[in-house]
Chains A and B, each alone.
Chain A
Amino acid sequence: MKTLQAKGVSKSFGGLKALSDVSIEVRPGEIHGLIGPNGSGKTTLLNMICGYYRVDDGRILLGDEDLTGQDIQTRARLGIARTFQKPRLLQDLTVLENAMLGAWTDHEASFLETAFALPRNRKDEARSRDYARELLHGVGLGYAVDRRANLLEHGEQRFLEVARALALRPRFVLLDEPAGGLTDHEIDSLERIVLTLKDAGIGVLIVEHHTDFVFRISDRVTVLHLGRLLKHGDPHTVETDQEVINVYLGA
Protein backbone atom coordinates (compact mmCIF):
# COMPACT_ATOMS: atom_id res chain seq x y z
CA MET A 1 0.00 0.00 0.00
CA LYS A 2 1.68 3.15 -1.15
CA THR A 3 1.04 6.31 0.79
CA LEU A 4 1.72 9.79 -0.52
CA GLN A 5 3.81 11.78 1.89
CA ALA A 6 5.43 15.10 2.40
CA LYS A 7 8.08 14.79 5.09
CA GLY A 8 9.45 17.80 6.89
CA VAL A 9 9.14 20.11 3.91
CA SER A 10 10.11 23.76 4.02
CA LYS A 11 9.83 26.44 1.36
CA SER A 12 10.82 30.07 1.17
CA PHE A 13 9.97 32.62 -1.48
CA GLY A 14 12.54 35.34 -1.38
CA GLY A 15 12.60 36.29 2.26
CA LEU A 16 9.20 34.89 3.06
CA LYS A 17 9.07 31.47 4.70
CA ALA A 18 5.93 29.87 3.32
CA LEU A 19 6.32 26.44 4.91
CA SER A 20 8.37 25.28 7.88
CA ASP A 21 8.99 21.63 8.49
CA VAL A 22 5.52 20.43 7.51
CA SER A 23 4.63 16.77 7.19
CA ILE A 24 1.47 15.30 5.80
CA GLU A 25 0.42 11.87 4.65
CA VAL A 26 -2.40 10.63 2.44
CA ARG A 27 -3.31 6.96 2.46
CA PRO A 28 -5.05 5.12 -0.35
CA GLY A 29 -8.80 5.26 0.13
CA GLU A 30 -8.47 8.10 2.64
CA ILE A 31 -9.94 11.58 2.44
CA HIS A 32 -7.50 13.98 4.02
CA GLY A 33 -8.54 17.58 4.55
CA LEU A 34 -5.99 20.38 4.58
CA ILE A 35 -7.26 23.62 6.04
CA GLY A 36 -5.99 26.85 7.49
CA PRO A 37 -6.27 30.61 7.16
CA ASN A 38 -5.11 32.48 4.10
CA GLY A 39 -1.36 32.49 3.81
CA SER A 40 -1.00 29.34 5.88
CA GLY A 41 0.73 27.53 3.05
CA LYS A 42 -1.97 25.03 2.06
CA THR A 43 -1.77 25.58 -1.66
CA THR A 44 2.00 25.86 -1.50
CA LEU A 45 2.12 22.43 0.11
CA LEU A 46 -0.19 20.98 -2.51
CA ASN A 47 1.91 22.52 -5.26
CA MET A 48 5.03 21.03 -3.78
CA ILE A 49 3.55 17.57 -3.63
CA CYS A 50 2.62 17.84 -7.29
CA GLY A 51 5.98 19.24 -8.25
CA TYR A 52 5.22 22.83 -9.19
CA TYR A 53 7.59 24.14 -6.54
CA ARG A 54 10.91 22.67 -5.47
CA VAL A 55 11.33 21.84 -1.82
CA ASP A 56 14.01 23.72 0.06
CA ASP A 57 14.11 21.05 2.72
CA GLY A 58 12.41 17.74 3.25
CA ARG A 59 11.12 15.08 0.92
CA ILE A 60 8.09 14.03 -1.09
CA LEU A 61 7.51 10.28 -1.13
CA LEU A 62 5.18 7.92 -2.89
CA GLY A 63 5.50 4.67 -0.99
CA ASP A 64 9.25 4.14 -0.94
CA GLU A 65 9.88 6.14 -4.04
CA ASP A 66 11.48 9.54 -3.54
CA LEU A 67 9.69 12.07 -5.72
CA THR A 68 11.53 15.10 -4.44
CA GLY A 69 13.61 15.73 -7.54
CA GLN A 70 11.07 14.46 -10.06
CA ASP A 71 9.23 16.76 -12.39
CA ILE A 72 5.47 17.27 -12.51
CA GLN A 73 4.93 14.98 -15.48
CA THR A 74 6.73 12.08 -13.80
CA ARG A 75 4.52 12.42 -10.75
CA ALA A 76 1.48 12.44 -13.02
CA ARG A 77 2.67 9.24 -14.62
CA LEU A 78 2.97 7.71 -11.17
CA GLY A 79 -0.69 8.42 -10.56
CA ILE A 80 -0.87 11.79 -8.86
CA ALA A 81 -3.62 13.97 -10.32
CA ARG A 82 -4.85 17.38 -9.29
CA THR A 83 -7.36 20.11 -9.88
CA PHE A 84 -6.71 23.84 -9.69
CA GLN A 85 -7.98 26.68 -7.60
CA LYS A 86 -8.90 28.53 -10.76
CA PRO A 87 -10.02 25.96 -13.34
CA ARG A 88 -7.56 25.60 -16.16
CA LEU A 89 -9.41 24.25 -19.14
CA LEU A 90 -8.81 24.38 -22.87
CA GLN A 91 -11.49 26.80 -23.95
CA ASP A 92 -11.54 25.91 -27.63
CA LEU A 93 -12.02 22.20 -27.06
CA THR A 94 -15.15 20.35 -26.05
CA VAL A 95 -15.83 18.99 -22.59
CA LEU A 96 -15.10 15.51 -23.83
CA GLU A 97 -11.80 16.54 -25.37
CA ASN A 98 -10.79 18.32 -22.20
CA ALA A 99 -11.50 15.20 -20.20
CA MET A 100 -9.65 13.04 -22.71
CA LEU A 101 -6.59 15.20 -22.20
CA GLY A 102 -6.33 13.66 -18.75
CA ALA A 103 -5.59 10.30 -20.33
CA TRP A 104 -2.38 11.47 -21.98
CA THR A 105 -0.18 9.30 -19.77
CA ASP A 106 -1.96 6.20 -21.04
CA HIS A 107 -1.48 7.23 -24.63
CA GLU A 108 0.87 4.81 -26.31
CA ALA A 109 0.92 5.79 -29.95
CA SER A 110 3.96 7.72 -31.11
CA PHE A 111 4.06 10.91 -33.15
CA LEU A 112 4.35 9.07 -36.44
CA GLU A 113 1.75 6.50 -35.52
CA THR A 114 -0.60 9.38 -34.86
CA ALA A 115 0.27 11.20 -38.06
CA PHE A 116 -0.42 8.14 -40.16
CA ALA A 117 -3.56 7.22 -38.18
CA LEU A 118 -2.22 3.76 -37.47
CA PRO A 119 -4.29 1.23 -35.51
CA ARG A 120 -2.56 1.83 -32.19
CA ASN A 121 -3.57 5.46 -32.32
CA ARG A 122 -7.14 4.59 -33.14
CA LYS A 123 -7.27 2.16 -30.25
CA ASP A 124 -5.85 4.77 -27.88
CA GLU A 125 -8.45 7.26 -29.01
CA ALA A 126 -11.35 4.89 -28.63
CA ARG A 127 -10.21 3.82 -25.20
CA SER A 128 -9.70 7.33 -23.86
CA ARG A 129 -12.91 8.58 -25.43
CA ASP A 130 -15.01 5.83 -23.88
CA TYR A 131 -13.38 6.22 -20.50
CA ALA A 132 -13.70 9.99 -20.51
CA ARG A 133 -17.34 9.69 -21.48
CA GLU A 134 -18.04 7.33 -18.60
CA LEU A 135 -16.28 9.64 -16.17
CA LEU A 136 -18.17 12.65 -17.44
CA HIS A 137 -21.49 10.91 -16.99
CA GLY A 138 -20.25 9.77 -13.62
CA VAL A 139 -19.57 13.28 -12.37
CA GLY A 140 -22.81 14.51 -13.86
CA LEU A 141 -21.68 16.29 -17.04
CA GLY A 142 -23.04 13.76 -19.51
CA TYR A 143 -25.37 16.36 -20.98
CA ALA A 144 -22.48 18.67 -21.86
CA VAL A 145 -20.12 16.20 -23.46
CA ASP A 146 -19.93 17.95 -26.84
CA ARG A 147 -20.17 21.47 -25.52
CA ARG A 148 -17.21 23.80 -25.95
CA ALA A 149 -15.51 24.40 -22.65
CA ASN A 150 -15.69 28.17 -22.83
CA LEU A 151 -19.46 27.91 -22.48
CA LEU A 152 -19.35 26.14 -19.16
CA GLU A 153 -20.55 27.67 -15.96
CA HIS A 154 -18.23 27.79 -13.01
CA GLY A 155 -19.56 24.66 -11.32
CA GLU A 156 -19.41 22.71 -14.56
CA GLN A 157 -15.80 23.77 -15.02
CA ARG A 158 -14.87 22.43 -11.62
CA PHE A 159 -16.53 19.10 -12.25
CA LEU A 160 -14.82 18.85 -15.63
CA GLU A 161 -11.48 19.33 -13.90
CA VAL A 162 -12.35 16.44 -11.60
CA ALA A 163 -13.25 14.24 -14.58
CA ARG A 164 -9.99 15.17 -16.29
CA ALA A 165 -8.05 14.30 -13.17
CA LEU A 166 -9.80 10.94 -13.00
CA ALA A 167 -9.02 10.21 -16.65
CA LEU A 168 -5.42 9.90 -15.54
CA ARG A 169 -6.42 6.76 -13.56
CA PRO A 170 -4.82 8.22 -10.47
CA ARG A 171 -3.90 6.67 -7.15
CA PHE A 172 -4.17 10.07 -5.55
CA VAL A 173 -6.25 13.10 -6.39
CA LEU A 174 -5.34 16.47 -4.95
CA LEU A 175 -8.19 18.96 -5.02
CA ASP A 176 -7.29 22.63 -4.66
CA GLU A 177 -10.30 24.43 -3.18
CA PRO A 178 -12.77 22.45 -5.27
CA ALA A 179 -15.81 23.88 -3.55
CA GLY A 180 -14.94 27.48 -4.32
CA GLY A 181 -17.87 29.21 -5.93
CA LEU A 182 -20.13 26.17 -5.91
CA THR A 183 -23.78 26.19 -4.93
CA ASP A 184 -24.91 24.11 -1.99
CA HIS A 185 -26.39 21.59 -4.37
CA GLU A 186 -23.12 21.34 -6.23
CA ILE A 187 -21.13 20.96 -3.03
CA ASP A 188 -23.41 18.09 -2.15
CA SER A 189 -22.73 16.47 -5.53
CA LEU A 190 -19.01 17.04 -5.09
CA GLU A 191 -19.16 15.41 -1.69
CA ARG A 192 -20.77 12.30 -3.07
CA ILE A 193 -18.23 12.13 -5.89
CA VAL A 194 -15.32 12.37 -3.46
CA LEU A 195 -16.82 9.60 -1.31
CA THR A 196 -17.08 7.46 -4.43
CA LEU A 197 -13.40 8.09 -5.08
CA LYS A 198 -12.64 6.96 -1.55
CA ASP A 199 -14.62 3.78 -2.08
CA ALA A 200 -12.64 3.11 -5.21
CA GLY A 201 -9.46 3.20 -3.17
CA ILE A 202 -8.19 6.57 -4.38
CA GLY A 203 -6.47 8.76 -1.80
CA VAL A 204 -7.85 12.28 -1.80
CA LEU A 205 -6.22 15.42 -0.42
CA ILE A 206 -8.60 18.37 -0.22
CA VAL A 207 -7.38 21.88 0.35
CA GLU A 208 -10.44 23.86 1.33
CA HIS A 209 -11.97 26.88 3.00
CA HIS A 210 -15.43 25.36 3.33
CA THR A 211 -14.63 23.80 6.67
CA ASP A 212 -18.06 22.21 7.18
CA PHE A 213 -17.57 20.33 3.96
CA VAL A 214 -14.10 19.22 4.98
CA PHE A 215 -15.05 18.09 8.46
CA ARG A 216 -18.02 16.21 7.10
CA ILE A 217 -16.20 13.96 4.69
CA SER A 218 -12.58 13.78 5.85
CA ASP A 219 -11.04 10.82 7.59
CA ARG A 220 -8.23 13.01 8.85
CA VAL A 221 -7.68 16.74 8.90
CA THR A 222 -4.46 18.74 8.97
CA VAL A 223 -4.47 22.40 9.95
CA LEU A 224 -1.72 24.75 8.88
CA HIS A 225 -1.03 28.18 10.28
CA LEU A 226 1.64 30.58 9.10
CA GLY A 227 3.42 27.77 7.32
CA ARG A 228 3.55 25.44 10.28
CA LEU A 229 1.61 22.38 11.27
CA LEU A 230 -0.90 23.49 13.88
CA LYS A 231 -3.04 20.43 14.48
CA HIS A 232 -3.57 17.05 12.95
CA GLY A 233 -6.05 14.27 13.63
CA ASP A 234 -9.58 13.06 13.11
CA PRO A 235 -12.18 15.67 12.25
CA HIS A 236 -13.89 15.86 15.59
CA THR A 237 -10.68 16.32 17.53
CA VAL A 238 -9.48 19.02 15.21
CA GLU A 239 -12.81 20.78 15.03
CA THR A 240 -13.06 21.11 18.77
CA ASP A 241 -9.44 22.01 19.39
CA GLN A 242 -9.19 25.38 21.11
CA GLU A 243 -6.15 26.59 19.25
CA VAL A 244 -7.71 25.74 15.91
CA ILE A 245 -10.83 27.58 16.90
CA ASN A 246 -8.87 30.63 17.98
CA VAL A 247 -6.76 30.81 14.92
CA TYR A 248 -9.14 29.81 12.19
CA LEU A 249 -12.63 28.66 12.97
CA GLY A 250 -13.69 31.50 15.16
CA ALA A 251 -15.95 31.39 18.21
Chain B
Amino acid sequence: MLLSVLVTGLAIGALYASTALAFNVMYSTSKVLSVATGHLCMLGGVFGAYFIQTLGLPIIVGFVGALMVGVIAGYLMELITVRRIINRSDEHLWLLSTLALATMIQQSVALWWGTEPRPFPRVIPQEFGAGMADQKYWLPVVALIVIAIGLELFYRLTMYGKVFIAVSEDAFAARARGVPTNRIRAASYMIAGLIGALAGFAAGQLTFAYFALGHVLTLMGFIAIAVGGLGSNLGAVVGGLLLGVLSSLVSYWFGGEYQNTIAIGVLIIILIVRPEGLFGSKRVRHV
Protein backbone atom coordinates (compact mmCIF):
# COMPACT_ATOMS: atom_id res chain seq x y z
CA MET B 1 0.00 0.00 0.00
CA LEU B 2 2.75 2.36 0.94
CA LEU B 3 4.50 1.57 -2.30
CA SER B 4 1.51 2.64 -4.29
CA VAL B 5 1.37 5.86 -2.30
CA LEU B 6 5.01 6.50 -3.17
CA VAL B 7 4.44 5.73 -6.82
CA THR B 8 1.52 8.17 -6.98
CA GLY B 9 3.60 10.73 -5.14
CA LEU B 10 6.49 10.40 -7.54
CA ALA B 11 4.20 10.70 -10.51
CA ILE B 12 2.47 13.83 -9.36
CA GLY B 13 5.77 15.10 -8.03
CA ALA B 14 7.27 14.68 -11.47
CA LEU B 15 4.58 16.97 -12.82
CA TYR B 16 5.31 19.53 -10.11
CA ALA B 17 9.02 19.24 -10.84
CA SER B 18 8.47 19.77 -14.56
CA THR B 19 6.41 22.87 -13.81
CA ALA B 20 9.21 24.08 -11.60
CA LEU B 21 11.71 23.56 -14.42
CA ALA B 22 9.51 25.61 -16.71
CA PHE B 23 9.54 28.35 -14.07
CA ASN B 24 13.31 28.25 -13.98
CA VAL B 25 13.70 28.46 -17.72
CA MET B 26 11.55 31.55 -17.98
CA TYR B 27 13.07 33.11 -14.90
CA SER B 28 16.56 32.59 -16.23
CA THR B 29 16.14 35.01 -19.12
CA SER B 30 13.61 37.43 -17.74
CA LYS B 31 13.73 37.38 -13.94
CA VAL B 32 9.99 36.95 -14.16
CA LEU B 33 7.99 34.30 -12.34
CA SER B 34 4.96 33.77 -14.49
CA VAL B 35 1.64 33.10 -12.80
CA ALA B 36 0.60 31.32 -15.97
CA THR B 37 3.32 28.64 -15.80
CA GLY B 38 0.95 25.99 -14.56
CA HIS B 39 -1.44 26.89 -17.32
CA LEU B 40 1.10 25.78 -19.89
CA CYS B 41 0.83 22.29 -18.42
CA MET B 42 -2.93 22.50 -18.29
CA LEU B 43 -3.04 23.40 -21.97
CA GLY B 44 -0.90 20.37 -22.82
CA GLY B 45 -3.34 18.10 -21.06
CA VAL B 46 -6.51 19.72 -22.37
CA PHE B 47 -5.37 19.99 -25.95
CA GLY B 48 -3.94 16.49 -25.89
CA ALA B 49 -7.35 15.20 -24.88
CA TYR B 50 -9.03 17.43 -27.42
CA PHE B 51 -6.88 16.37 -30.36
CA ILE B 52 -6.85 12.66 -29.61
CA GLN B 53 -10.21 12.07 -28.03
CA THR B 54 -12.50 14.72 -29.46
CA LEU B 55 -10.98 15.13 -32.89
CA GLY B 56 -9.90 11.53 -33.13
CA LEU B 57 -6.44 12.35 -34.41
CA PRO B 58 -3.66 9.76 -34.14
CA ILE B 59 -1.90 9.85 -30.83
CA ILE B 60 1.41 11.04 -32.17
CA VAL B 61 -0.30 13.89 -34.04
CA GLY B 62 -2.23 14.87 -30.96
CA PHE B 63 0.98 14.78 -28.95
CA VAL B 64 2.84 17.03 -31.33
CA GLY B 65 -0.19 19.26 -31.56
CA ALA B 66 -0.33 19.65 -27.81
CA LEU B 67 3.36 20.52 -27.74
CA MET B 68 2.82 23.12 -30.42
CA VAL B 69 0.01 24.67 -28.39
CA GLY B 70 2.43 24.92 -25.49
CA VAL B 71 5.11 26.53 -27.61
CA ILE B 72 2.69 29.06 -29.02
CA ALA B 73 1.30 29.81 -25.57
CA GLY B 74 4.82 30.37 -24.28
CA TYR B 75 5.61 32.70 -27.13
CA LEU B 76 2.44 34.71 -26.65
CA MET B 77 3.12 34.88 -22.95
CA GLU B 78 6.49 36.48 -23.56
CA LEU B 79 5.21 38.78 -26.25
CA ILE B 80 2.15 40.04 -24.44
CA THR B 81 2.89 39.93 -20.77
CA VAL B 82 6.64 40.22 -20.46
CA ARG B 83 8.29 42.04 -23.30
CA ARG B 84 6.57 45.36 -22.88
CA ILE B 85 6.60 45.16 -19.13
CA ILE B 86 10.15 44.22 -18.48
CA ASN B 87 11.60 47.64 -19.09
CA ARG B 88 9.24 49.47 -16.84
CA SER B 89 10.46 50.46 -13.45
CA ASP B 90 7.50 49.06 -11.58
CA GLU B 91 8.59 45.68 -10.35
CA HIS B 92 5.21 44.13 -9.86
CA LEU B 93 3.68 44.72 -13.23
CA TRP B 94 4.72 41.36 -14.65
CA LEU B 95 2.95 39.72 -11.78
CA LEU B 96 -0.24 41.47 -12.80
CA SER B 97 0.15 40.85 -16.50
CA THR B 98 0.89 37.15 -16.12
CA LEU B 99 -1.95 36.89 -13.64
CA ALA B 100 -4.24 38.51 -16.20
CA LEU B 101 -3.09 36.12 -18.89
CA ALA B 102 -3.48 33.13 -16.57
CA THR B 103 -7.02 34.21 -15.84
CA MET B 104 -7.79 34.64 -19.50
CA ILE B 105 -6.37 31.25 -20.40
CA GLN B 106 -8.18 29.51 -17.57
CA GLN B 107 -11.53 31.10 -18.22
CA SER B 108 -11.47 30.65 -21.95
CA VAL B 109 -10.65 26.97 -21.52
CA ALA B 110 -13.48 26.73 -19.00
CA LEU B 111 -15.89 28.26 -21.45
CA TRP B 112 -14.76 26.08 -24.32
CA TRP B 113 -13.79 22.81 -22.71
CA GLY B 114 -16.11 22.88 -19.74
CA THR B 115 -15.53 22.98 -16.02
CA GLU B 116 -15.62 19.25 -15.38
CA PRO B 117 -12.40 17.24 -15.47
CA ARG B 118 -12.58 15.15 -18.62
CA PRO B 119 -10.80 11.87 -19.18
CA PHE B 120 -7.50 11.74 -20.97
CA PRO B 121 -6.95 9.01 -23.53
CA ARG B 122 -4.52 6.14 -23.30
CA VAL B 123 -1.27 7.07 -24.93
CA ILE B 124 0.25 3.61 -25.13
CA PRO B 125 -1.88 0.52 -25.46
CA GLN B 126 -2.16 -0.97 -21.99
CA GLU B 127 -4.70 -2.86 -19.93
CA PHE B 128 -6.36 -0.92 -17.13
CA GLY B 129 -5.58 -3.52 -14.52
CA ALA B 130 -1.86 -2.85 -14.56
CA GLY B 131 -1.88 -1.34 -11.06
CA MET B 132 1.31 0.44 -10.19
CA ALA B 133 2.80 -0.19 -13.58
CA ASP B 134 0.02 1.83 -15.16
CA GLN B 135 1.37 4.39 -17.58
CA LYS B 136 -0.34 7.21 -15.77
CA TYR B 137 2.30 6.83 -13.09
CA TRP B 138 5.45 6.39 -15.08
CA LEU B 139 4.72 8.66 -18.05
CA PRO B 140 5.12 11.84 -16.00
CA VAL B 141 8.38 10.52 -14.57
CA VAL B 142 9.69 9.70 -18.03
CA ALA B 143 8.67 13.16 -19.17
CA LEU B 144 10.55 14.72 -16.28
CA ILE B 145 13.68 12.73 -17.06
CA VAL B 146 13.51 13.72 -20.72
CA ILE B 147 12.99 17.36 -19.80
CA ALA B 148 15.73 17.46 -17.19
CA ILE B 149 18.30 15.74 -19.40
CA GLY B 150 17.21 17.78 -22.37
CA LEU B 151 17.74 21.01 -20.48
CA GLU B 152 21.16 19.94 -19.24
CA LEU B 153 22.29 19.06 -22.75
CA PHE B 154 20.81 22.26 -24.07
CA TYR B 155 22.67 24.43 -21.60
CA ARG B 156 25.97 22.63 -21.88
CA LEU B 157 26.25 21.73 -25.49
CA THR B 158 24.36 24.18 -27.61
CA MET B 159 25.30 27.76 -28.44
CA TYR B 160 21.80 28.89 -27.58
CA GLY B 161 22.08 27.32 -24.18
CA LYS B 162 25.28 29.12 -23.41
CA VAL B 163 23.73 32.37 -24.48
CA PHE B 164 20.84 31.70 -22.14
CA ILE B 165 23.25 31.44 -19.27
CA ALA B 166 24.98 34.65 -20.29
CA VAL B 167 21.71 36.50 -20.47
CA SER B 168 20.58 35.19 -17.13
CA GLU B 169 23.74 36.33 -15.46
CA ASP B 170 23.78 39.81 -16.86
CA ALA B 171 21.14 40.81 -19.34
CA PHE B 172 22.49 44.30 -19.63
CA ALA B 173 25.95 43.22 -20.58
CA ALA B 174 24.56 40.64 -22.94
CA ARG B 175 22.56 43.24 -24.77
CA ALA B 176 25.58 45.50 -24.92
CA ARG B 177 27.44 42.70 -26.67
CA GLY B 178 24.73 42.47 -29.27
CA VAL B 179 22.88 39.46 -27.97
CA PRO B 180 19.27 39.73 -29.19
CA THR B 181 17.79 39.52 -25.73
CA ASN B 182 14.20 39.77 -26.92
CA ARG B 183 14.62 36.78 -29.17
CA ILE B 184 16.46 34.83 -26.53
CA ARG B 185 13.75 35.53 -24.05
CA ALA B 186 11.05 34.54 -26.50
CA ALA B 187 12.92 31.32 -27.22
CA SER B 188 13.18 30.51 -23.53
CA TYR B 189 9.47 31.06 -23.07
CA MET B 190 8.74 28.80 -26.02
CA ILE B 191 10.94 26.14 -24.46
CA ALA B 192 9.07 26.56 -21.19
CA GLY B 193 5.82 26.15 -23.10
CA LEU B 194 7.18 22.98 -24.65
CA ILE B 195 8.22 21.64 -21.25
CA GLY B 196 4.89 22.51 -19.69
CA ALA B 197 2.83 20.99 -22.47
CA LEU B 198 4.93 17.84 -22.48
CA ALA B 199 4.56 17.44 -18.74
CA GLY B 200 0.85 18.18 -18.85
CA PHE B 201 0.31 15.73 -21.66
CA ALA B 202 2.27 12.99 -19.94
CA ALA B 203 0.36 13.51 -16.71
CA GLY B 204 -3.00 13.82 -18.39
CA GLN B 205 -4.17 10.38 -17.35
CA LEU B 206 -3.31 11.19 -13.76
CA THR B 207 -4.84 14.64 -13.53
CA PHE B 208 -7.52 14.42 -16.22
CA ALA B 209 -8.00 17.26 -18.64
CA TYR B 210 -9.14 19.94 -16.28
CA PHE B 211 -9.31 23.67 -16.76
CA ALA B 212 -8.59 24.53 -13.11
CA LEU B 213 -5.21 22.81 -13.02
CA GLY B 214 -3.42 25.98 -13.96
CA HIS B 215 -3.38 27.79 -10.66
CA VAL B 216 -2.81 24.62 -8.67
CA LEU B 217 0.20 23.68 -10.76
CA THR B 218 1.57 27.22 -10.66
CA LEU B 219 1.34 27.09 -6.92
CA MET B 220 2.83 23.63 -6.59
CA GLY B 221 5.57 24.36 -9.08
CA PHE B 222 6.31 27.48 -7.13
CA ILE B 223 6.49 25.62 -3.84
CA ALA B 224 8.90 23.20 -5.48
CA ILE B 225 11.04 26.19 -6.50
CA ALA B 226 10.84 27.67 -3.03
CA VAL B 227 11.94 24.40 -1.51
CA GLY B 228 14.64 23.68 -4.04
CA GLY B 229 15.92 27.16 -4.59
CA LEU B 230 15.08 29.56 -7.39
CA GLY B 231 17.28 29.08 -10.42
CA SER B 232 18.46 25.63 -9.46
CA ASN B 233 17.24 22.89 -11.76
CA LEU B 234 18.38 20.22 -9.37
CA GLY B 235 16.45 22.00 -6.66
CA ALA B 236 13.37 22.12 -8.87
CA VAL B 237 13.48 18.37 -9.42
CA VAL B 238 14.18 17.52 -5.79
CA GLY B 239 11.62 20.04 -4.56
CA GLY B 240 8.93 18.82 -6.92
CA LEU B 241 9.42 15.15 -6.14
CA LEU B 242 9.55 15.79 -2.40
CA LEU B 243 6.38 17.81 -2.58
CA GLY B 244 4.61 15.15 -4.60
CA VAL B 245 5.56 12.36 -2.25
CA LEU B 246 4.67 14.42 0.79
CA SER B 247 1.27 15.28 -0.69
CA SER B 248 0.64 11.66 -1.40
CA LEU B 249 1.65 10.54 2.07
CA VAL B 250 -0.55 13.18 3.66
CA SER B 251 -3.47 12.07 1.55
CA TYR B 252 -2.87 8.53 2.68
CA TRP B 253 -2.62 9.34 6.35
CA PHE B 254 -5.10 12.17 6.76
CA GLY B 255 -7.29 11.99 3.72
CA GLY B 256 -7.15 13.91 0.50
CA GLU B 257 -8.70 17.03 1.92
CA TYR B 258 -5.51 18.29 3.47
CA GLN B 259 -3.25 18.19 0.48
CA ASN B 260 -3.12 21.89 -0.16
CA THR B 261 -2.95 22.75 3.49
CA ILE B 262 0.10 20.61 4.06
CA ALA B 263 1.79 21.81 0.92
CA ILE B 264 1.39 25.38 2.01
CA GLY B 265 2.54 24.50 5.47
CA VAL B 266 5.75 23.19 3.94
CA LEU B 267 6.10 26.38 1.96
CA ILE B 268 5.70 28.58 4.99
CA ILE B 269 8.20 26.62 7.01
CA ILE B 270 10.79 26.65 4.25
CA LEU B 271 10.32 30.34 3.65
CA ILE B 272 10.86 31.10 7.29
CA VAL B 273 13.73 28.74 7.95
CA ARG B 274 15.64 28.83 4.70
CA PRO B 275 14.15 31.30 2.24
CA GLU B 276 16.73 30.64 -0.42
CA GLY B 277 15.69 27.02 -0.61
CA LEU B 278 17.81 23.90 -0.37
CA PHE B 279 20.07 24.65 -3.29
CA GLY B 280 19.61 28.36 -3.75
CA SER B 281 21.88 31.25 -2.96
CA LYS B 282 21.18 34.40 -0.98
CA ARG B 283 20.83 37.51 -3.05
CA VAL B 284 22.27 40.92 -2.27
CA ARG B 285 20.38 43.97 -3.19
CA HIS B 286 22.27 47.03 -4.39
CA VAL B 287 21.22 50.53 -3.56
Contact at A13–B284, with CB atoms within 8 Å? Answer: yes
- Note all chain A residues with C-beta closer than 8 A to B287: 43, 47, 52-53, 84
What separation, in Å, do the CA atoms of A47 and B287 have in the docked complex? 8
What separation, in Å, do the CA atoms of A52 and B286 have in the docked complex? 8
- Note all chain B residues with C-beta closer than 8 A to A43: 287
What separation, in Å, do the CA atoms of A43 and B286 have in the docked complex? 11
Q: Of residues 53 to 72 in A, which have CB atoms within 8 Å of B's CB atoms?
A: 53
* Whole-angstrom distance between the Cβ of A76 and the nearest chain B Cβ: 14
**Secondary structure call for the B interface:** loop
- Note all chain B residues with C-beta closer than 8 A to A84: 287
What separation, in Å, do the CA atoms of A84 and B287 have in the docked complex? 9
Q: Of residues 36 to 88 in A, which have CB atoms within 8 Å of B's CB atoms?
A: 43, 47, 52-53, 84
What separation, in Å, do the CA atoms of A52 and B287 have in the docked complex? 7
Q: Which residue of B lies closest to A84 (CB)?
A: B287
Q: Which residue of A lies closest to B89 (CB)?
A: A91
* Whole-angstrom distance between the Cβ of B186 and the nearest chain A Cβ: 30
Q: Which residue of A lies closest to B284 (CB)?
A: A13
- Note all chain A residues with C-beta closer than 8 A to B284: 13
- Note all chain B residues with C-beta closer than 8 A to A52: 287
What separation, in Å, do the CA atoms of A53 and B285 have in the docked complex? 9
What separation, in Å, do the CA atoms of A84 and B284 have in the docked complex? 18
What separation, in Å, do the CA atoms of A13 and B284 have in the docked complex? 8
Mark interface residues in B127-139 (1 if CB within 8 Å of A CB, else 0): 0000000000000
Q: Which residue of B lies closest to A14 (CB)?
A: B284
Q: Which residue of B lies closest to A82 (CB)?
A: B287
What separation, in Å, do the CA atoms of A240 and B284 have in the docked complex? 38
Q: Which residue of B lies closest to A72 (CB)?
A: B287
What separation, in Å, do the CA atoms of A13 and B287 have in the docked complex? 13
Mark interface residues in A3-24 (1 if CB within 8 Å of B CB, else 0): 0000000000100000000000
* Whole-angstrom distance between the Cβ of A39 and the nearest chain B Cβ: 13
What separation, in Å, do the CA atoms of A47 and B284 have in the docked complex? 13
Q: Which residue of B lies closest to A47 (CB)?
A: B287
Q: Which residue of B lies closest to A52 (CB)?
A: B287
What separation, in Å, do the CA atoms of A13 and B286 have in the docked complex? 10
What separation, in Å, do the CA atoms of A52 and B284 have in the docked complex? 10
Mark interface residues in B267-287 (1 if CB within 8 Å of A CB, else 0): 000000000000000001001
* Whole-angstrom distance between the Cβ of B284 and the nearest chain A Cβ: 6
Mark interface residues in B244-287 (1 if CB within 8 Å of A CB, else 0): 00000000000000000000000000000000000000001001
- Note all chain B residues with C-beta closer than 8 A to A13: 284
Q: Which residue of B lies closest to A46 (CB)?
A: B287
Mark interface residues in B78-118 (1 if CB within 8 Å of A CB, else 0): 00000000000000000000000000000000000000000
* Whole-angstrom distance between the Cβ of B173 and the nearest chain A Cβ: 16
6 A–B contacts from the bound complex (CB under 8 Å) = A13-B284, A43-B287, A47-B287, A52-B287, A53-B287, A84-B287
**Across chains A and B, which 6 residue pairs bring their CB atoms closest together, nearest first?**
A52-B287, A47-B287, A13-B284, A84-B287, A53-B287, A43-B287
